[in-house]
Structure formats: structure tokens, C-alpha cells
Chains A and B, each alone.
Chain A
Amino acid sequence: MKKIVFLLILQGFLALSCSERSSKDDITLVYLESILTKPPLISQSYIIVSDYSCLPCREAIYQKLEDKSSEDVYIILMLRNKAVLEDRFHETILEKRLYLDSLEINKKIGFFASQAIRVYYDGDGWVNEQIE
């Protein structure tokens, strides 16, 4: 019986450490860290959106960013027109609430997001959630 309990505990430990290791290697987190130049904060939620996603989809997100009605940190990748975005979100970029991937880091590390995603820590690990 003791052996079984020990094995179960060991299995749980291994599963936990595996999950943690896979989180660290997760390409979304690698991408976030490359853009932010530091590891993402577990207290912070991040929104990643492509400037080539559908117009109403991205505009709904940009509107929130513009209204400053969100505490999230935003990353826009696949920029159609960097200058237009810089102009529109000038203040937000200065406040470090928006990062523009103008160096196309996503292409270099092979990270793509055709739909906007929210990345957050839920206590057990990092979660990637697609935004409708």
C-alpha cells in the first residue's frame, strides 16, 4: 500500500514538473519573453493579436486599447503599417502597455497567431485562450 502511495506521489510530482517544464518551453512564453525582454509576470494578462486578423476582430481589441479600458498588456505582430499603429497608440506604447513586433521576432522564432489570444497564469500554469 505504501509503495502504491509513493508511486502515486512520484507520478504526481513528475506530472507537475513536466507541466512546468513544458510551460517554460512553450513557444508563446518564449515569444512573450523575447518581446518584453523579461519573463512575463504571473500577475499580468497579455493579449497577442495579428494586424492581419480580420478587421472587426482586431478593431474590437484596438478599441479597448485606445479606450484604456483594459489592464492587459498588448502585443501586435505582423504589422501592416507600423507608423499608423505607432501614431494611433503613441501613449500606450510609452506606458509599456503595448509592444509592436516591428522586428518580426515572431517569424524568427516561428510563432504565429491567426486569431487573437489571451495569455495568463491561472495558478496552475500559463493558459493560452483564443479570443472570439
Chain B
Amino acid sequence: MRFTFISVFILGLFSCAEKSGEEIPSAFREVHSYQLNLDRFTSPVEDYYQYIKNWKGQEAYAFHVMGKEEIKLYSLGNGALIETVSYGENQPNLQSGIHDLYILNEDSIFLNRRRAYKVYLINQEFEIVKTMDFMGGNDEIDKNTGWPKSKETFMPVWSRNRFFRKIGDKIFISGAPNIIASSVDAFNTKTLLNSYSLETEEITPLLGYPEKMQGNIWGEFFNLVFSDYNPEEDFFVHSYAADERVYITDQAMNVIHDFEAYPKGYKKVPPLTIKEIENSDALLSHWQDNDLFGSIHWDPYRKLIYRIMEEPNVDYTIDLLRDPIDRARNMVVMAFDAKQDYRKVAEMRLKKSGNGVYLDRCFVNEKGFNITYVELDNEDKLYFKTFLVE
């Protein structure tokens, strides 16, 4: 018994990926805070949101209020509602089923009708100027699964920090493969990130999983990849939920560089066991009991990469995990310096409390790295806490 305990303890030490004696030269400091005064229809935990550098002259934050078919734009300057874009009321073909949004500018808003496998581009007159079809002409929905029959088809999705961006004459867009996440096949896909040519309408699957993740099953909670793009130097950065490394790629997703990017105390996430695949409670526990990497952000002002990791959830109720507030975890934020060969230069831990929670919904602006904070007893306010590495 004693031997077993000691063995487990030693194994635990070895499975921990922490670099002993790691020196972190700088620290994050909170330098600013934004407060949005939400109207009665905007929930602080809307699923679809976006930071917008310039909306009619103001720095803004947008929410898609599903059910109302409206986009609400709030000023980051004074927290007030700037405008409500009522696309459902003004465009009869978009009155339901829209999920993700991407605002390119006032005259170009992309709206994703996921289950139709279509992304619409509307202008400020609410006219549909382009319909992007992500289900091939010969493909059809399998009535048994509800998914397209072709395994090449993917569902366009870019909520939860996944990726959508117009780069040149292409759209780069995250995709969820039409393969059940509890199978090995799901981790051989190349449709995690895809390009769509606005000229030719050609769709090219580009990004798959690192070799070390292939051949195992990671499930629906560790199958995500988060990405950002640096337009000045034309490279992407990618953070996989179950991989401690960060990858820098070109537009064709060739890896240019990769580096270790995990916090002190990080423990490698094991792939799913048969028990976890077959038992939904065990699957949820695997999700909650392990470190989970999250979003990644390129900071063009300071040449830094920020990466989020959520620590194991110490206090959760399985039946409440669908609610972003209830499933919020303590979070570690790391900064890596591109000028120092992506060395880690700062790390901080943000704890949830009885007063409020931090959420992995972040953006970079001139002021710094901004992280969403929700007060638990005030659903009419939403905060962004701004941090700088000093």
C-alpha cells in the first residue's frame, strides 16, 4: 500500500511538465478597466461576440443576441449602446438560425447559419451580397446523423475563440468536422481551419492536429484549436486545447516555428479512456479535471503572444456545465515575447470568486490585453480588465 502511494506520488511528479526553477522576468499588471452598460436584451454571457476597433468612429464590442436576430454594439469608450443592427427584421431570409457573426466593417457583416452550412455576407442595407455554401452541390444530409454524408464537408463555426478572418481575397474559417469526436478519425481531419476563395468559391481544408494528437481520442472538449493572425508579418498562431506547444504557421499552415507554452504546475492531458468515451459523466469529469488550453492572441503593439489555460475545475456540478458562468474555472494567462524567441515573459493566475468570474473572452488593443469579467450579482454590466506586461 505504502509502495503504491509512493509510486503514484513519483509518477505524479514525472507527469507534471513544470520546468523547475523557471524564471519569469516580468509580471502582468492591471492598468485599466472597461465597463459596458448592457441593455435588457444583452446577456453578459452571449455566445457570439466580437471586439471591433472602429465602428463609426468608436472602439466597440458587439454581441449577437440570438432569438432577437439583432447585433448590439456597445462603445468601449463610455459603455453605452451605440447601435442595434436588426438584421432579422430587415432581411426576410435571415429571420432565424443565425449563430456566429463577424463584422468586417459597417458595410460588411458575415452571418453564419450553421445548420444550413451557409455563411451570408450582408451590407448596411441588409442586402445579402454573397452566400457562401459550405456543403458541396452533390452532398446531402444523412437523415440518421443529421450531418452531411461527405466526410470532406465541415460545419463552419467560429464562436468560442475559433477563427474567422478575411485575408486578401480569402476567408479563413474554422470548421467542425462531420465526424463524431469520440473516434480516432476525428483527429485525422484537416478541416480545423479552411480557406474560402471569394473569387472562385474554392474551399481548401488547411489545418489538422499535430502528429502527437493523432491516433488518440480527445473528445469534443479537447478537440478545439484556437488561432490568431499577424497581418504585418503574415503568420498565424495556433493553440490546441490538449497540446502544451504553440505553433506558428504560414497561410498554407506550414509550421514555421513551435515552442513550449505552458504554465507552472501544468499536467499533460491524457487522451480519453474507453470508460470516458462510453460514460457521459466520466467524459465530463475528464473535461473538468484536466488543464485545458484556451485562446491565443497576437499583440501587434508589444509583439507578444498571450495564451490562456484554464486550470482543473475544483468546484462544479455536472448538470450545470452548459452555463458559461457555472463552468468558469481559475485561469492562467501567459505572455511570450516574439523578440526573445518566444520566451515566456509573464504569467498570472486569475481566480474565480463568489463575486465574479473571469472568462476566456479576450481581445488586444492599444491599452493592453483585455479579459472579460462578469459580476455574479449584476447581469446588466460587463467588464473587461486590461493587463500589461511590466
Asked if B259 is at the interface (CB within 8 A of a chain A CB), the reply is no
Chain A 5-34: CB-based contact to B (< 8 A → 1; otherwise 0): 000000000000000000000000000000
Q: Which single member of A50, A83, A114 contacts B41 (CB below 8 Å)?
A: A83
Q: Which single member of B41, B115, B319, B323 contacts A84 (CB below 8 Å)?
A: B41
Q: Smallest CB-CB separation from A59: which chain B residue?
A: B96
Provide the bound-state CA to CA distance between A83 and B65, in Å.
Answer: 11
Interface size class of A (residues with CB under 8 A): 10 to 19
Provide the bound-state CA to CA distance between A15 and B67, in Å.
Answer: 48
B322 contacts A83, CB within 8 Å?
A: no
Provide the bound-state CA to CA distance between A87 and B39, in Å.
Answer: 13
B320 contacts A84, CB within 8 Å?
A: no
Which residues of B have CB within 8 Å of A80? 43, 45
Asked if A43 is at the interface (CB within 8 A of a chain B CB), the reply is no
Provide the bound-state CA to CA distance between A83 and B40, in Å.
Answer: 6
A114 contacts B67, CB within 8 Å?
A: no
Asked if A48 is at the interface (CB within 8 A of a chain B CB), the reply is no
Q: Which single member of A50, A52, A56, A88 contacts B67 (CB below 8 Å)?
A: A88
B320 contacts A112, CB within 8 Å?
A: yes
A81 contacts B319, CB within 8 Å?
A: no
Asked if B302 is at the interface (CB within 8 A of a chain A CB), the reply is no
A81 contacts B65, CB within 8 Å?
A: yes
Q: Which single member of B65, B66, B115, B319 contacts A112 (CB below 8 Å)?
A: B319
Provide the bound-state CA to CA distance between A99 and B280, in Å.
Answer: 30
**Considering the complex, which residues of chain A in the window 35-83 have a beta carbon less than 8 Å from any beta carbon of chain B?**
50, 52, 56, 78, 80-81, 83
Given contacts A50-B322, A84-B68, 8 further A-B contacts (CB under 8 A): A56-B115, A78-B323, A80-B45, A81-B46, A84-B66, A87-B41, A87-B68, A112-B319
Asked if A85 is at the interface (CB within 8 A of a chain B CB), the reply is yes
Asked if A90 is at the interface (CB within 8 A of a chain B CB), the reply is no
Q: How far is the CB of B299 from chain A (nearest CB, A)?
A: 32
Which residues of A have CB within 8 Å of B40? 83
Which residues of B have CB within 8 Å of A78? 320, 322-323
Q: Smallest CB-CB separation from B68: which chain A residue?
A: A84
- A-B CB contact pairs (8 Å), 12 listed: A52-B323, A81-B46, A81-B65, A81-B66, A81-B67, A83-B40, A84-B68, A88-B67, A107-B320, A112-B317, A112-B320, A114-B319
Provide the bound-state CA to CA distance between A81 and B48, in Å.
Answer: 13
Which residues of A have CB within 8 Å of B68? 84, 87
